[in-house]
């Protein structure tokens, strides 16, 4: 109940570049860079011990009060399940590379590539490459601009994917999706993003609509795919890092 009240108390924000930079480039990614420089092993960095217990979903509608460490281990297993059969993967908006690093740690042997607008986020991946030989190619790139197909590792990747990265671009979704379809018309794409456009079947999905509105996250991915007459399928996976932030898998082509 406390987490639901927290959502109700949230103040509405406007998700612009300044807000995103303060939360990520100067916040989370900066902290990740400091942590990875001090980490003794990749496992310790990916799954740090903590007392951050929240009600979360990890595959069904039953809420579980689990630590962030346990959630991250479940998230890693989910990524392997969704992406582990690909030969080469490129993450759009990879941030500091947690998803890519987790895939490598959990045994993914194919090519792993990523792009993000933040040089600080990319530097985390480069540090991991140097310390633990993770062999991930990562580049800085602004997804709101054309030209992603000119980035060699991305151009050669079998599958493009995102994990709650497009949510940071509520005002640029049409531009981003149009660019991707223009430059990769036949590429397999897997977007693991907000489920708020789907008909709510559970109270958590109702609260997700409110949460996404108050955080000003994107909520038009399904509409953009339809506007482009894309062939896609949607799967509810009932997975969330906290109650009220449900995600779904949008598989294109």
Mean pLDDT of the 214-222 span? 94
Is residue 202 pLDDT above 90, yes or no? no
Mean pLDDT of the 33-58 span? 94
pLDDT at 178: 96
Quick: pLDDT tens for 93-142: 999 999 999 999 999 999 999 999 999 999 999 999 999 999 999 999 99
pLDDT at 81: 97
CATH number of this structure's domain 2-252, picked from the four choices 3.30.590.10, 3.30.2320.50, 1.25.10.10, 3.40.50.150: 3.40.50.150
pTM of the model: 0.95
- CA 175 to CA 154: how far, in whole Å? 18
pLDDT at 20: 83
* Torsion region of 3: left, alpha or beta (phi above 0 gives left; psi -120 to 50 gives alpha): alpha
Mean pLDDT of the 169-197 span? 95
């Amino acid at each position: 109940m406390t987490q639901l009240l927290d959502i109700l108390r949230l103040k509405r924000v406007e998700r612009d570049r300044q807000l995103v930079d303060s939360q990520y480039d100067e916040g989370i990614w900066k902290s990740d860079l400091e942590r990875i420089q001090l980490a003794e092993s990749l496992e310790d960095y990916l799954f740090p011990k903590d007392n951050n217990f929240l009600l979360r979903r990890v595959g069904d509608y039953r809420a579980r009060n689990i630590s962030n460490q346990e959630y991250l281990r479940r998230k890693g297993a989910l990524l392997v399940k969704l992406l582990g059969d690909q030969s080469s993967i490129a993450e759009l908006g990879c941030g500091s590379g947690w998803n890519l690093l987790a895939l490598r740690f959990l045994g993914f042997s194919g090519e792993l590539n990523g792009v993000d607008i933040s040089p600080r986020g990319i530097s985390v991946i480069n540090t991991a490459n140097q310390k633990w030989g993770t062999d991930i190619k990562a580049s800085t790139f602004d997804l709101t601009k054309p030209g992603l197909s000119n980035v060699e590792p991305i151009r050669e990747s079998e599958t493009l994917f995102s994990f709650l990265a497009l949510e940071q671009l509520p005002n640029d979704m049409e531009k981003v999706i149009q660019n991707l379809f223009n430059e990769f018309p036949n590429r397999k794409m897997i977007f693991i993003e907000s489920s708020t456009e789907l008909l709510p079947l559970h109270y958590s999905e109702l609260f997700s609509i409110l949460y996404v509105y108050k955080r000003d996250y994107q909520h038009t991915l399904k509409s953009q795919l339809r506007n482009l007459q894309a062939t896609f399928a949607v799967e509810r996976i009932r997975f969330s890092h906290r109650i009220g932030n449900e995600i779904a898998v949008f598989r294109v082509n």
